[in-house]
């Protein structure tokens, strides 16, 4: 049996959340000892509690690593506010940085990129890549567009490459550029500014399937994974993504689909190529689509189960 030590996020209102955090360790300890698991899994901030219970019960302990919080010493980095926040979280959760991660038996990164980062920090740790599971869905046939009339992206922040996207919209004024998930737009609503359409949160796959001739992921930061790229492939979109972080593996490392990050000139050139020859990327996209099912929930659960059975 496996127990997952969570971080007490079930509390919604502020007071309940504070009380929940205070009780969190006691709840974890009580539940773990009642279940008597063969293996303990924890999330980002549950490491110290999980390690203590694993030691008492003499069972292996592992962690799902979804970003860089467990690899960096947050207490000594960032602004004064972030340092204070890390200190307060430390009082509630305990340490969840590299010193306590070193005590874990195994680590479960969410991408091959994160596995590489982990092994650079912990070269002797056992790892198993477990990607964030995608709900099983019918992968739409690649859309064949004779003319590229619309280009879409998800996210409106700078680290998602919003400035690159805006520059592309300026460069190609006859093409519609759609931004999905703009926090300034209410869910389900659309705001039009010149040739840019801004959407609140909505069904990403459906909107891409209905509206996008080309889907781009121009991120400029090292994202641990690249879920939106997989959603674009499921939607049947021709796709271009930044060659950074976990994005390359989500498009099956197809070099034709990758663009140097934060390189406006190269993005303009690649978009111009697709506008001139809309089918130029079709073969690479189809190869990337064939790799999508491995990210589906059942396959990822089976991968995790096989790994955990080695400890039972």
Tokens of 305: 């189960």
pLDDT at 4 over 90: no
pLDDT per position as a tens digit, 237-273: 999 999 999 999 999 999 999 999 999 999 999 999 9
Reported as type and span, the H/E element at residue 262 is: none
Contact 97, 70 (CB under 8 A): yes
122 and 158 share a domain? no
Structural contact between residues 260 and 247, judged by C-beta atoms closer than 8 angstroms: no
- Binned at pLDDT 50, 70 and 90, residue 178 comes out as very high
187 plus 75 within the same structural domain: no
pTM: 0.86
Domain span at residue 282 reads 150-293
Indicate the number of domains in the chain. Answer: 2
The Cα–Cα gap between 174 and 46 comes to 50
Q: Same structural domain for residues 31 and 92? A: yes
| Rounded mean pLDDT, 116-144 | 94
* pLDDT for the residue 12: 47
Rounded Cα distance, 174 and 12, in Å:
46
pLDDT at residue 289 in the model? 98
Q: Which of 150, 174, 137 is nearest to 237 (CA)?
A: 150
Q: pLDDT by residue (tens digit) across 208-224?
A: 999 999 999 999 999 99
Q: Which residues of 243-277 are buried (b: 16+ CB within 10 A; e: fewer)?
A: bbbbbbbbbbebebbbbebbbeeebbebbeebbee
Which has more pLDDT, 69 or 166? 166
Q: What is the DSSP letter of 251?
A: T
Residue 181 lies in a domain: yes
Using the predicted structure, report yes or no on whether residue 19 has a pLDDT greater than 80. Answer: no
Residues 238, 219 within the same domain: yes
Structure tokens at 166: 């805006």
Q: What is the mean pLDDT of residues 193-206?
A: 96
Give the pLDDT mean for 280-289: 97
Quote the CA–CA distance of 144 and 185 in Å, as a whole number: 30
pLDDT at residue number 93: 66
CATH classification of the domain holding 237? 3.40.50.2000
Cβ neighbours, 10 Å, residue 87: 11
Lowest mean pLDDT among 84-88, 150-154, 159-163, 292-296: 84-88
> Rounded to whole angstroms, how far apart are CA atoms 160 and 190?
20
Instruction: Report the pLDDT averaged over residues 167-193.
Output: 96
Percent of the chain with pLDDT over 70: 85
């Amino acid at each position: 049996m496996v127990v997952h030590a969570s971080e007490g996020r079930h509390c919604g209102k502020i007071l309940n959340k504070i009380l929940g955090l205070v009780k969190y360790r006691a709840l974890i300890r009580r539940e773990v000892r009642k279940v008597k698991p063969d293996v303990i899994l924890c999330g980002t901030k549950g490491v110290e509690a999980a390690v203590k219970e694993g030691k008492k019960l003499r069972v292996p302990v592992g962690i799902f690593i979804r970003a860089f919080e467990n690899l960096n010493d947050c207490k000594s980095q960032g602004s004064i506010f972030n340092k204070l926040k890390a200190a307060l979280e430390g009082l509630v959760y305990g340490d969840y940085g590299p010193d306590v991660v070193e005590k874990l038996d195994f680590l479960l990164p969410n991408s091959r990129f994160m596995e590489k980062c982990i092994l650079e920090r912990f070269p002797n740790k056992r790892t198993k890549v477990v990607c964030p599971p995608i709900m099983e869905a019918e992968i739409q046939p690649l859309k064949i567009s004779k003319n590229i009339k619309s280009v879409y992206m998800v996210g409106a922040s700078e680290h998602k490459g919003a400035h690159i996207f805006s520059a592309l919209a300026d460069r190609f004024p006859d093409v519609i550029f759609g931004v999905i998930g703009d926090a300034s737009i209410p869910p389900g609503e659309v705001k039009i500014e010149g040739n840019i359409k801004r959407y609140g949160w909505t069904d990403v796959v459906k909107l891409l399937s209905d509206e996008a001739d080309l889907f781009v992921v121009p991120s400029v930061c090292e994202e641990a994974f690249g879920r939106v790229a997989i959603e674009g492939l499921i939607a049947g979109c021709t796709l271009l993504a930044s060659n950074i972080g976990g994005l390359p593996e989500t498009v099956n490392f197809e070099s034709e689909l990758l663009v140097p990050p934060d390189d406006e000139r190269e993005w303009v050139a690649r978009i111009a190529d697709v506008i001139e020859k809309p089918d130029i990327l079709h073969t690479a996209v189809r190869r990337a689509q064939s790799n999508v099912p491995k990210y589906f929930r059942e396959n990822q659960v089976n991968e995790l189960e096989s790994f955990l059975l080695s400890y039972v």
